[in-house]
Amino acid sequence: MAGIKRVGVLTGGGDCPGLNAVLRGLVKASSFDHDIHVVGFEDGFAGLIKDRTIRLDADAVSGILPRGGTILGSSNKDNPFRVPAMINGELTFEDRSDEAMRTFDRYGLELLVVIGGDGSLAIGNQLAEKGMPVIGIPKTIDNDLGATDVTFGFDTALSTACGALDKLHTTAESHHRIMVLEVMGRYAGWIALEAGLAGGGDIILVPEIPFKVESVVSAVKDRKFLGRNYTLIVIAEGAKAEGGEVHVAKVVEESTDAIRLGGVGDWLAAELEKRLETEVRVTVLGHLQRGGSPTAFDRILGTRYGVHAAECAAKGMKNVMVSLKGIDITEVPLSDAVKELRRLDPQSELVHVARSVGTRFGDE
């Protein structure tokens, strides 16, 4: 495949700060260094299925570095192997991967760059198994992809969550309240742990460490005994009580990720108000964590990922994902990238540091 001249690119799944930085890095490096023409597919895999494209050149990506979102648009409801369709009034699913393959061939493409999280990269891996050469770029605010140390978008989401904690701290202290901040992360607690650590969370509840409500109550009482009449609790959307289940806000059958987590913050607040004579207020950050201008870290990481993907393409590499290992950008087999989620180790140094400064995890 060495010497390829035409590649496609799409941004799949939820949007994420830094997507435009990746596109800019990929397109400019492809154009300036390797004379590679880039075709962008609109709205994730929908563009590949329905043949919706835009030409991406240096002019098209000029000025997009600080912008959030993605100029290509995105979607988490268009898996080519499971496209929703209404037949006789009933929701069903069709395999339209052959149409995706034909679109790829129609534009004379030699490689598809898939920028996405575990769901989008799993689809990319399926297309690779079907014969389409693919390079993946790891994107998710959840930081839960196992084959890279960091995903772009995480740092921006973390900064948003930390900033929210800073603001909640002042009102919690003023009104002597318990403040619960529910953050994203799905089944991994990276946002909750690091935002809680950076923002001075008194209690951090993560999916990897099931908590006891009574232990949370005890932690609040301990703080009150010491004269601290407010408490900041950071809870990941995928956190669950010991012996309990995750809280599901809704199920979207046509989505590539049907389960929508949410509601655990309100549930915890209700449980605490039963046991404590203190007002409990809940803030759910939700999609605020996905939006806005990316941090400098995410702009640089996204640019590095995009440039390295262009270099991999120029070398004729296929079916790999670009990855950050330590301080170096490298690549790993695409199949390895989707094997397992990267979750917190309850015995990790970060958890130890949090415990050492008095943070409670509700498991005592």
Domain count for the chain, please give it: 2
| Distance from the first to the final alpha carbon of the chain | 56
- pLDDT tens digit sequence for 98-153: 999 999 999 999 999 999 999 999 999 999 999 999 999 999 999 999 899 999 99
CB 140 within 8 A of CB 12: no
Q: Which amino acid is at 138?
A: P
186 and 52 within one domain: no
Q: Specify whether 147 is located in the same domain as 160.
A: no
3-state DSSP call for residue 224?
helix
pLDDT exceeds cutoff 90 at 3: no
Phi, psi of 105 (to 5 degrees): -70, -35
Q: Are residues 183 and 113 in the same domain?
A: no
- Rounded distance, CA 134 to CA 260, Å? 28
Residues 168 and 313 placed together within one structural domain of the fold: no
Judgement on whether residues 242 and 267 belong to the same structural domain of the protein: yes
Average of per-residue pLDDT across 282-299: 95
pLDDT digits (tens, 9 = 90+) for 146-197: 899 999 999 999 999 999 999 999 999 999 999 999 999 999 999 999 999 9
| CATH number assigned to the domain comprising residue 307 | 3.40.50.450
Mean pLDDT estimate for the chain: 94
The verdict on 83 and 124 lying in the same domain is: yes
CATH number at residue 280: 3.40.50.460
Q: Are residues 120 and 162 in the same domain?
A: no
226-235 pLDDT tens trace: 999 999 999 9
| 16 vs 243: CA distance, rounded Å | 33
- Specify whether 212 is located in the same domain as 306: no
Find the DSSP H helices in 107-212: 118-129, 154-175, 190-199
Q: Print the domain residue range for 181.
A: 156-290+345-356
Does position 256 have pLDDT exceeding 70, yes or no?
no
Q: Which residues are catalytic?
A: 142
Q: Is position 209 within any domain?
A: yes
Pairing status of strand 328-333 against strand 320-325: antiparallel
| 133 & 252 share domain | no
In this structure, the number of other CB atoms found within 10 A of the CB of residue 229 comes to 15
Per-residue CA distances from 55 to 33, 42, 58 (Å):
18, 10, 10
**Nearest-angstrom CA–CA distance, 165 and 328:** 32
Q: What is the pLDDT, as a whole number, of residue 254? A: 67
Do 133 and 275 lie in a common domain? no
